[in-house]
Amino acid sequence: MKILTEHIDVPGIETIDVFRKHGGYSALEKALKTMSPDEVTEEVKKSGLRGRGGAGFPVGMKWSFLAKPEGVPRYLVCNADESEPGTFKDHYLMMKSPHTLIEGMIVSSFALGANTSYIYVRGELMYVIHILEKAIQECYDKGLLGKNILGSGYDLDLFVQPGGGAYICGEETALLESLEGKRGNPRNKPPFPAVKGLWQCPTVVNNVESIAATSWIVNNGGEEYAKLGVGRSTGTKLISVSGHVRKPGVYEIPLGITVEDFIYADEWCGGIRAGHKLKAVVAGGSSVPILPAELILTTAAGEKRLMTYESLSDGGFATGTMLGSGGFVVMDETTCIVHNTLTFGRFYHHESCGQCSPCREGTGWMDKILYRIEHGQGRQEDIDLLVDVAKKIEGNTICPLGDAAAWPVAAAIRHFRDEFEWHVKHPEKATQPGAVFMREGASWTL
């Protein structure tokens, strides 16, 4: 069952005519001609759709928090900053089928009573911005944007805003600062954007995939959507797959398939590349804890792990992880966990906005310590020092980037401490090009 990507490979789907031939803009017609804004919100609530940007907060509930004072404009801002390492699904969707997002933007803006909306796209994706702008122009030309859309009396202007290269602008309040033409420093919350957002007006920020899903929900009803998936993980999810599988790429999966099927079935990743074995997975983008092969396939209780919010987090951080943004990074036995952790540590150090000292200083320390371990200059006490620094960042910062920086380091040491120790004890071996520690008796040891 595909909701977002059913027609994504149809030639010409990026044009409005082909998109319409395949059912495009029927949700817009249905919503604007036959439903009230509150009815649209109600369907989204019933669907159980959870935010696809990483945190998994229910979309309908977020919408119902939007303040609606008289005479004050409200805004919908789409978060297309997509910068979490391992994640490239929004890029894929917007690049191939821009109208899928645009239709969702119109439907969602209508539900929220927004008359101006923005899509904030990371600046590196300037070519995607041009694709979106072309598609938006088509909508204006056909009367699907602008004044009095389809004679409904509803007006909407839609604009695309480029970022400037900063992961932190994916955090919703930093994004709003950036959209106001400032540095991307996250704001203290409360007030939440739903009350004081863009230019201090009530604002909803949602991920590309969340917004795109609303069209299908309008067309088919929230209850139908909720029938897909398992429990509180309703619907489908775009998973970005990178690393050592036979077929990296973006897959739209029904939530609830097993992790094992997802990795090994031909329909999805097609298994680990020939001659190699699964060692570890980062299941939800660089911020979530890495898990070794056994724990990603089965929970500590011995049950098959499912691709759902709940199952992936089963066991907490001791033995579980998170679905996050769905950035699924697969590593085989040739992967040096220390090196991979170093690239993540360097990433968060580079991307910290610098407002809070635990994050600014802590990410710098972690980067430096990881660097010296990887380069054969580590000391035994460095490993515990990393754990200690991570602990001191966690929970002590304005925005969740601090946690996101701490978790991957803490998890790598939790599950692969022997690999860090090997680097410290045998620097001459560990610094050989391509050298990787092999745990005796591990399922991935060849």
Contact between 204 and ligand FMN (CB under 6 A)?
Answer: no
Which residues does 143 contact at the CB level (< 8 Å), separation at least 6? 149, 150
Residues 72, 396: Cα–Cα separation, whole Å: 34
Would you give the distance in Å from CA 384 to the centre of its chain? 30
Listing DSSP states for 71-140 in one string gives: T---EEEEEE---STT--HHHHHHHH-HHHHHHHHHHHHHHHT-SEEEEEE-GGGHHHHHHHHHHHHHHH
For the chain, helix (H) and strand (E) counts, in that order, are 19, 11
CB–CB of 397/358 below 8 Å?
yes
Closest approach, Cβ 345 to other proteins, in A, equals 10
CB of 326 to other proteins, least distance (A): 12
Give 287 or 299: the residue with its C-beta nearer to other proteins: 287
205 interacts with ligand FMN by CB under 6 A: yes
The reply on whether position 177 binds ligand FMN by CB under 6 A is no
- CB of 44 or CB of 338, closer to other proteins: 338
Question: Which two three-digit tokens encode residue 296?
Answer: 């990603």
Query: Does the footprint of ligand FMN cover residue 138 (CB under 6 A)?
Result: no
| Binding segment (CB under 6 A) for ligand SF4, from list 51-59, 130-138, 366-374, 395-403 | 395-403
Eight-class DSSP state of 170: G
Q: CB count, 10 Å around CB of 33?
A: 10
| 401 binds ligand SF4 per the rule CB under 6 A | yes
Query: What are the CA-CA distances from residue 444 to residues 326, 332, 333, 416 (Å)?
Result: 24, 7, 6, 13
What is the spatial distance between Cα 384 and Cα 387, in angstroms, rounded to a whole number? 5
State the helix-helix crossing angle for 98-112 and 37-47, rounded to 10 degrees.
120
| Contact pick of 57, 65, 159, 199 for ligand FMN (by CB under 6 A) | 57
In the list 347, 365, 420, 422, the residue contacting other proteins (rule: CB under 8 A) is 347
Select from 136, 175, 257, 398 the one that contacts ligand SF4 (CB under 6 A): 398
Is position 345 an interface residue for ligand FMN (rule: CB under 6 A)? no
Tell which residue, 325, 120, 103, 324, has the closest CA to residue 205: 120
Position 3 contacts ligand SF4 (CB under 6 A): no
Residue nearest to ligand SF4 (CB): 359
In the set 23, 33, 55, 435, which binds ligand FMN (CB under 6 A)?
55
Restricted to residues 115-154, the positions that interact with other proteins (CB under 8 A) are 122-127, 130
Residue 179 CB partners (closer than 8 Å, separation 6+): 77, 118, 120, 161, 198
Shortest separation between residue 49's beta carbon and ligand FMN, angstroms: 9
Binding interface with ligand FMN (CB under 6 A): 51-55, 57, 59, 79, 81-84, 168, 170-172, 205-207, 210, 399-401, 404
Residues within the interface to other proteins (CB under 8 A): 73, 82-88, 90-91, 122-127, 130, 157, 159, 161-167, 178-184, 199, 240-244, 248-250, 286, 327, 329, 331, 335, 339-340, 343-344, 346-347, 350-351, 353
Residues that bind ligand SF4 (CB under 6 A): 168, 186, 352-356, 359-360, 397-399, 401-402
